[in-house]
Amino acid sequence: MNENKPLSLGVLISGTGTNLQAIIDEIEAGRLSARIAVVISNRSRAPGLERARRHGLETMVIDHRGFASREEFDRQLAAVLNRHGVELVVCAGFMRLLSPVMLDAFPNRIMNIHPSLLPAFPGINAQRAALQHGARWTGCTVFFVSAGVDDGPIIIQAVVPILPDDDEGRLSARILCQEHRIYPYAIRLYQEGRLELQQRRVVVRGALLVPPDQAWLNPPLAAC
């Protein structure tokens, strides 16, 4: 990877695309040296497609229902991403599991974001699961996609408290705010060549360290 060259991204979406928007905003503000080569949705009506078009980005719909298997869909996906010279694949609310076809085409070059502190609450409805479990903290995680569901090497996490009067909507909104901060940041770390994979651990070179005595309590001790 050439650290001076803008990174070529392929963004995969299925829905609203607010994470896509956060990435576009960082690029346009000059804080992320990248270009979005193509935005691909598996759903033709994904509102995120309109966001992409508003910013002059190339979009494409590849409807998974037109393919006999997950592998065939992934072969088409990989072909389009390669044709656009994509270096890093960014899943941003992309509601499809990727098969080995995609993982082999882009080894350690696919990122995803999940609205929980993995490995807690993988899979769908993660915010609801954290609430129902009675967890005091949840958050969001950016990770490299691997064969397991939401199981790949973790790049960065943000911690979000669960408040006594939270419902799924309020909690999801607060998590989403943090997603918009950490996803562009994770891509930037990748672009700067600062992510080093050691087995399943991602070492972030030159990162500030969290003070070793820093811990968060919820509820805080003072309230007890």
Residues that bind ligand GRF (CB under 6 A): 15-19, 48, 92-93, 113-115, 176, 179
- Comparing CB distances to ligand GRF, the nearer of 55 and 85 is 55
- Comparing CB distances to ligand GRF, the nearer of 19 and 138 is 19
- Read off the tokens for 207: 């990162």
Cβ(8)–Cβ(102) below 8 Å: no
- Read off the tokens for 155: 């790049």
> Residue with CB nearest ligand GRF?
93
Cβ(21)–Cβ(30) below 8 Å: no
CB 184 to ligand GRF: min, Å? 12
Based on the residue annotation, tell me whether 114 is a catalytic residue of this protein. Answer: yes
Among 64, 84, 114, 180, the active-site one is 114
- Comparing CB distances to ligand GRF, the nearer of 17 and 184 is 17
CB 16 to ligand GRF: min, Å? 4
- Tokens 């609430």 belong to which residue? 131
Q: What angle do helix axes 168-191 and 126-133 make, rounded to 10 degrees?
A: 120
- Comparing CB distances to ligand GRF, the nearer of 19 and 191 is 19
- Read off the tokens for 111: 């990122």
CB 172 to ligand GRF: min, Å? 7
CB 81 to ligand GRF: min, Å? 19
Length of the chain: 224
- Tokens 């408290």 belong to which residue? 161
- Among residues 118, 111, 135, the alpha carbon closest in space to that of 191 is found at 111
Residues belonging to the active site: 114
